[in-house]
Structure 1
Amino acid sequence: MDADDVVRLRLSQQQLRHPRAVSAEAALKNLLAVQSQEFPYARWSLAQRTAGASAADVEEAVADGRILRTHILRPTWHFVHRDDLRWLLMLSAPRLHQGNGGMYRQTGIDAEAASRSARILADAVAGGAHKTREQLALELQRHGFAAKGLELAYLIMHAEISGVLTSGIPVRSTGGALKQTYALFDERVPASADGHEHRSEALAELVRRYFLSRGPATVKDCADWSGLTVTDVRLGLGLVLEAEPDVLTAATLDGLDFYFSSAGRGPAAAPGPAAEAEGGPRVDLIQCYDEYVMGYSRSRYFLGGTAPALPERDTPMHVVLSDGRMIGSWRHDLAGGRCELDIRTRSDPGPAGHRAIDKAVTEYGRFLGTPAVRK
């Protein structure tokens, strides 16, 4: 295995190449969790892994509760399928609360405050009465909480991690943007979905799904992505290999051990950069928190660039890929009934590269349902 194999297999296993997922839901089930703090771009992360899902398709799945958006893993915002959230939260909640411990103390959230606020929040959204962050703040304030700034943020996050709240039906703001609402966890998440009731079962499932969807990757990559310890990931990997010895393949590159789907080996299963480029390079516009970036830590360098990165002055921060490697950055501006894309590459990609970028812009406009042009 060489660097080109890593890029080729990651593109394939993440469904940025064929065969694509049949729906945004299926793409999410493959990836298990997708970072989603920038909701407009996170919709695209799911849709571009399908045969043609639109922004409206993703929004509908979120509104229906098939796709939930909540704090989990590390923790930050993630899309998680409703069938996976309960067992995934059971596995990760203790470490999330532990990691948030300093902020809980800083904001005065002790056990009594957490318990009392959880009851208030649960009562506020019970019976399908989904509420925005601002509405929840008012409910907490009525019961004596300051519910502002970091205290509000961590009271709500504590309730999410504790299985009290999850995402509800988004509402439109006066400017037309979708706003997150919160719902009662037990009303949105099936009580017994996939049956991973024991920690060892959940651990094995997380590790299995991670390497099948993001391999080739290392144990450290999985640990940093999941927020679990390296010891836990090694334990989960051992359970997977014991139960299904043929499901994963191991290979060594750059002195690191990589694991990936045994079914994904070989050029027949995952066409390489050369095959993708028969008519020129293939360009993908991915968000800076896409799983092709955030799915890795120790081995992110195969991306060929520094991402995610904070924008400098007026610089876009999302990622332009050419045959799986970073060549620039982009962002969108929505105004006047159309989408303008600011795309900047490190060097002139040449005529074929410009054609590939134009094709990617067209695909993005199709996803949004509005004309898209390059600035």
Structure 2
Amino acid sequence: MAVLGPRALNRATLARQHLLERTTAPVEEVVAHLCGLQAQEPQEPFTGLWSRLYAFTPDRLDRALTERRVVRTHLMRRTVHLVAADDALSWRARHDAMLRQRVLATYRHELAGVDLDELAAAGRAVMADRRPRTMAELVDAVQDRWPGPPRRALGELLVAALVPMVQLPPRGLWRTKSGVRNLPLATWLGRDVTPLPGSDEGQEGDDPAGQQLVRRYLAAHGPAATADIRAWSGVAGLPAAVRALRDELVTFRDERGRVLLDLPDAPRPSPDTPAPVRFLPAFDNAILGYQDRSRIIDDAHRGLSVAGLRAVLVDGRVAATWTTDDRRLLVTPLRALSAPERQAVRVEGHDLATFLDRGIDRVDIAAVRTAIG
């Protein structure tokens, strides 16, 4: 079995993520290919798309949201993601059990004794009038029947787990600050949630819904191990899907000896392929989409990916963080950068500053930062 080193895995990841070369594809196609963009910070997907799409402008994502081609919803890992409308409709049922389990794990004692099906029915009945509601307004409408649990626990259970919801625009539009207003996914899209056959996480058999998730994940993130698929999705019950796909997948090993799965015709560029500087938003799935993130970030800096820090890729790896401060874009290296690397960071940083259009007139590179555990 062929062994893929970190650099080979890195270049494969960059190619799948449109980070080796920007694409001209429509926004909704890119969002679908990437299996969604993590979006709990509403403005971050704009930078993620700018780094991946040629000549991207914010109005393209705004239109995709307002025209209901992409939506903001709780999905993978119970995190708000920007996903293609069709994926939201077909994938939601496959994530239902995980979403419930994750909310209950957080509020197990507070929600003890609550009949989840009864609460879900009550939530759907409240939302049947098609009026958008905040989480607080939804809790107000049901709390008389469930006065015991804390409001936050009831709200998260309803909005993030029991009733498939979408967060409506203007939430998530460019430079727009807006609270979360929820509407059932089916109401917003005018179509029912239509899971693929086999979307019950506890079901037996070949799990066709899980197979689709595995294929789509590998197209955007492969080659990858089953532990990576689980870390990305939050869904544990995919072994049947992986077994069913074995004959159509190719396998490799990494230098740690893990078996890696991949689609036969997916791009796996040469490890020597040049990789341009790229600025990533907070919580980008190019980093977070794996259990083993060593292909793109050093273990010493792994913590920045969950701390909400924005990353800069130099030669394909996380080599700095970035932020904006007054009239400057500040880059803080995690290692010493060569003179050509610093120049490439400045050039891409100036282009990003132009895109952000916040009066930023310089790119500063700070001293090397210490490790982030």
Do the two structures share a fold, i.e. TM-score over 0.5? yes
1:48-197 matched pairs, under 5 angstroms: 48-108=51-111, 110-112=113-115, 115-116=118-119, 119-120=122-123, 123-124=126-127, 126-127=129-130, 129-136=131-138, 139=141, 143=144, 151-152=151-152, 154-170=154-170, 176-189=176-189, 191=191, 196-197=196-197
Task: Kindly indicate which of the two structures has a greater share of residues assigned to helix.
Answer: 1
Task: Tell me which of 333, 346, 371 is aligned to 1:345.
Answer: 333
Task: Tell me which of 318, 321, 339 is aligned to 1:326.
Answer: 318
Cα separation, 2, equivalents of 1:80 and 1:134: 25
Instruction: Check the 8 A contact 1:289/1:308 in 2, yes or no.
Output: no
- Letter paired with 2:198: H
Report the CA distance between 1:164 and its aligned residue.
4.2
Partner of 2:302: 307
Report the CA distance between 1:136 and its aligned residue.
4.0
- Classify 1:273/1:180 alpha carbon distance in 2 versus 1 (closer, same or farther; 3 Å): farther
Partner of 1:279: none
Instruction: Check the 8 A contact 1:164/1:184 in 2, yes or no.
Output: yes
- Letter paired with 1:226: S
SS in 1 for 2:21: coil
Task: Tell me which of 347, 350, 363 is aligned to 1:374.
Answer: 363
Cα separation, 2, equivalents of 1:51 and 1:122: 44
Partner of 1:203: 210
SS in 2 for 1:275: coil
The alignment status of 1:275 with 2:274, answered yes or no, reads: yes
Cα separation, 1, equivalents of 2:197 and 2:285: 27
The alignment status of 1:36 with 2:16, answered yes or no, reads: no
Cα separation, 2, equivalents of 1:172 and 1:202: 29
Partner of 2:20: 17
Instruction: Check the 8 A contact 2:39/2:72 in 1, yes or no.
Output: yes
Task: Kindly indicate which of the two structures has a greater share of residues assigned to strand.
Answer: 1
Cα separation, 2, equivalents of 1:317 and 1:10: 20
- Letter paired with 1:180: V
Report the CA distance between 1:370 and its aligned residue.
4.1
Instruction: Check the 8 A contact 1:87/1:197 in 2, yes or no.
Output: no
Cα separation, 1, equivalents of 2:283 and 2:102: 21
Cα separation, 2, equivalents of 1:308 and 1:56: 33
Task: Tell me which of 275, 279, 302 is aligned to 1:285.
Answer: 279
Instruction: Check the 8 A contact 1:320/1:326 in 2, yes or no.
Output: yes
- Classify 1:181/1:63 alpha carbon distance in 2 versus 1 (closer, same or farther; 3 Å): farther
Partner of 2:368: none
Partner of 2:241: 236
Cα separation, 1, equivalents of 2:125 and 2:350: 44
Cα separation, 1, equivalents of 2:30 and 2:224: 19
- Letter paired with 1:9: A
Instruction: Check the 8 A contact 1:24/1:49 in 2, yes or no.
Output: no
Instruction: Check the 8 A contact 1:118/1:164 in 2, yes or no.
Output: no
Instruction: Check the 8 A contact 2:89/2:194 in 1, yes or no.
Output: no
What is the TM-score with the length of structure 1 in the denominator? 0.80
Task: Tell me which of 259, 262, 282 is aligned to 2:261.
Answer: 259
Report the CA distance between 1:264 and its aligned residue.
3.2
Q: Deviations over 1:245-283 (max 9, x none)?
A: 2xx4311121111123322345xxx3655434xxxxx21
Instruction: Check the 8 A contact 1:126/1:184 in 2, yes or no.
Output: no
- Letter paired with 1:275: P
SS in 2 for 1:332: strand
Q: Deviations over 1:301-360 (max 9, x none)?
A: 122322343899xxx822111021111111234x5xxx6322101344233222211222
Partner of 2:353: 365
What is the TM-score with the length of structure 2 in the denominator? 0.80
Instruction: Check the 8 A contact 1:83/1:189 in 2, yes or no.
Output: no
Share of identical aligned residues, percent? 18
Higher relative contact order (CA 8 A, sep 6+): 2
Report the CA distance between 1:216 and its aligned residue.
1.8
